């Protein structure tokens, strides 16, 4: 029986070896011929990203499963080492069947080179990892942090690694004061705490609103009028109306386009566009309906707005960012040209690209589609990372696709040795109300696969930092990216 099993395994190993070698050849050929990602030819991380994209254009589920009985199932964790993994599998199969043409095993330094590149880039961008965890904690500062310097040392002691200043709020003088307080807090605890300043970009929001009465809420079947200019104008057949922060938003809508309001709490479809106005029919809302308020976000997943990701305000704010920040958060970036646009302005302002890190916020479908090209372009300029801006991203691509897409972004960024910030509503109930939900604790645990996790501002954010610090440390003992760590279990 054992002899027959060994014979069958040897036969299968020989077939698998041919398939693995053929797959490797296809990957190399497709990378050479298709130009999957332009730029970064001398960057080992970008080369690996190209190989990863080529590989993932093939369905290798059957191959992976057939390798498993032979003890060779590592293809599911090859993001940072595509060719070295294929070479290692081929070398082992060749040894099993006595064939010497597979090229041998890769050196250990080559096999784990991608992990080292990612670790180095994370340290350059986000600061050195803590002794108890590799995943950093970022905290969005409230506006009154400029007047409450004692707030920041407490955050630092509990585990904050990066402080985020949202330049959509407050003024440059307040940002400067916050940055000074962050530096002082870092000195107080003996750690270098980084400062991220997040420029606003072309925020698409409601402005003035009008409703039948103060308690009225939009329900499925209701209609809402958006107006490009002037005050909102309710009428008998459309009793809800709102102005918008960007007038061109209304004029570029087309009948059938979807409109999402307030992080997806309402979704509607454009019924009519005329004379600088658009009528939206509500198709679904959260339970109880949605209240129409000013300064709430609008997402238009079907509409090509053609907006620059940098506003006049952003260009003015960049001078303060260069002066105060370690990192720049770039909203609404969606194409490689957007990176060039920012770099041109930074050059004019005299920025040091090797010092000032860049974090691209992935929040639109075009940014997802163009992510490999964005990475290849941005990696040439200095420290670079990606933020999965899950609030806007979910509203743009749909909540049902968010979980799938955040996984794919993690995989692509690991292949390119790009640090990831996991953002939006992490431990939101804990931050605001003091008690976390079960779902958000699980979400925060899964965030340990990123290089940084962002907490929003809230009255109990210091407690949330403590909880997240412990949780991330525990999860690191169990999983590193997609690889289980298999530490000894102690509950049984």
Length of the chain: 492
pLDDT, tens digit, 9 for 90 and up, residues 399-414: 889 999 999 999 999 9
Q: What is the pLDDT of residue 280?
A: 96
Asked whether residue 38 carries a pLDDT value surpassing 80, the answer given is: no
Among 18-27, 110-119, 141-150, the least confident range: 141-150
d(CA 320, CA 302) in angstroms, rounded, equals: 35
Model confidence, pTM? 0.93
Considering the chain, tell me which residue range(s) the CATH 3.20.20.60 domain(s) occupy. 117-202+308-483
Under a CB-based contact definition with an 8 Å cutoff, are residues 63 and 93 in contact? no
Q: What is the pLDDT of residue 1?
A: 52
Q: What is the pLDDT of residue 203?
A: 85
Mean pLDDT, residues 34-50 taken together:
79
CA angle 401/307/231 to nearest 5° reads 100
Q: What is the pLDDT of residue 249?
A: 85
Asked whether residue 233 carries a pLDDT value surpassing 90, the answer given is: no
pLDDT, tens digit, 9 for 90 and up, residues 78-128: 999 999 999 999 999 999 998 876 678 999 999 999 999 999 999 999 999
Among 124, 116, 30, 128, which residue's Cα sits nearest to residue 379? 124
pLDDT, tens digit, 9 for 90 and up, residues 315-370: 999 999 999 999 999 999 999 999 999 999 999 999 988 899 999 999 999 999 99
Residue 24: half-sphere exposure toward Cβ, Cα within 13 Å: 21
d(CA 166, CA 175) in angstroms, rounded, equals: 9
Q: What is the pLDDT of residue 174?
A: 95
CATH architecture of 117-202+308-483: Alpha-Beta Barrel (3.20)
3-state secondary structure of 360: strand
Instruction: Give the CATH fold of the 206-299 domain.
Output: M1 Pyruvate Kinase; Domain 3 (2.40.33)
Q: What is the pLDDT of residue 35?
A: 60
Helix axes 371-378, 44-56, angle to 10 degrees: 170
Q: What is the pLDDT of residue 251?
A: 87
Considering the chain, tell me which residue range(s) the CATH 2.40.33.10 domain(s) occupy. 206-299
Mean pLDDT, residues 378-383 taken together:
90
d(CA 135, CA 277) in angstroms, rounded, equals: 47
């Amino acid at each position: 029986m054992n002899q027959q099993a060994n014979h069958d395994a040897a036969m299968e190993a020989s077939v698998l070896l041919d398939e693995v070698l053929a797959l490797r050849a296809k990957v190399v050929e497709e990378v050479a011929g298709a130009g999957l990602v332009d730029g970064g030819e001398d960057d080992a991380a970008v080369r690996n990203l190209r190989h990863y994209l080529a590989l993932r254009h093939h369905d290798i589920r059957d191959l992976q499963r057939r390798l498993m009985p032979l003890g060779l199932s590592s293809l599911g964790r090859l993001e940072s080492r595509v060719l070295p993994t294929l070479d290692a599998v081929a070398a082992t199969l060749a040894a099993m069947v006595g064939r010497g043409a597979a090229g041998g095993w890769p050196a250990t330094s080559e096999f784990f080179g991608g992990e080292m590149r990612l670790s180095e880039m994370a340290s350059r961008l986000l600061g050195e990892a803590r002794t108890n965890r590799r995943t950093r904690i970022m905290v969005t500062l409230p506006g009154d942090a400029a007047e409450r310097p004692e707030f920041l040392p407490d955050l630092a002691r509990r585990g904050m690694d990066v402080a985020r200043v949202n330049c959509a709020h407050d003024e440059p003088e307040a940002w400067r004061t916050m940055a000074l307080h962050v530096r002082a807090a870092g000195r107080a605890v003996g750690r270098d705490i980084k400062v991220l300043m997040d420029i606003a970009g072309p925020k698409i929001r409601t402005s003035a609103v009008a409703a039948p009465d103060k308690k009225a809420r939009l329900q499925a079947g209701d209609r809402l009028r958006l107006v490009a200019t002037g005050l909102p104008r309710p009428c008998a057949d459309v009793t809800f109306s709102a102005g918008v922060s960007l007038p061109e938003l209304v004029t570029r809508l087309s009948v059938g386009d979807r409109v999402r309001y307030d992080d997806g709490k309402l979704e509607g479809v454009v019924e009519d566009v005329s004379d600088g106005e658009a009528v939206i029919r509500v198709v679904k809302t959260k339970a109880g309906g949605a209240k129409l308020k000013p300064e709430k976000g609008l997402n238009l997943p079907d509409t090509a707005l053609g907006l620059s990701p940098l506003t006049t305000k952003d260009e003015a704010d960049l001078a303060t960012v260069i002066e105060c920040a370690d990192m720049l958060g770039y909203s609404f970036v969606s194409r490689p040209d957007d990176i060039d646009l920012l770099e041109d302005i930074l050059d004019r302002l005299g920025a040091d690209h090797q010092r000032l890190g860049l974090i691209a916020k992935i929040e639109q479908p075009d940014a997802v589609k163009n992510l490999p090209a964005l990475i290849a372009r941005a990696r040439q300029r200095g420290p670079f990372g990606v933020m999965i801006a899950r609030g806007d991203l979910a509203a743009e691509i749909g909540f049902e696709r968010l979980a799938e897409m955040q996984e794919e972004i993690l995989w692509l960024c690991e292949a390119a040795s790009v640090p990831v910030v996991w953002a939006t509503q992490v431990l939101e109930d804990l931050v605001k109300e003091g008690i976390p939900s079960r779902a958000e604790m699980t979400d925060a645990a899964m965030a340990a696969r990123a290089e940084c996790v962002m907490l929003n501002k809230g009255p109990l954010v210091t407690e949330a930092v403590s909880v997240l610090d412990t949780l991330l440390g525990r999860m690191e003992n169990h999983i590193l990216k997609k690889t289980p760590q298999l530490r000894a279990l102690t509950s049984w």
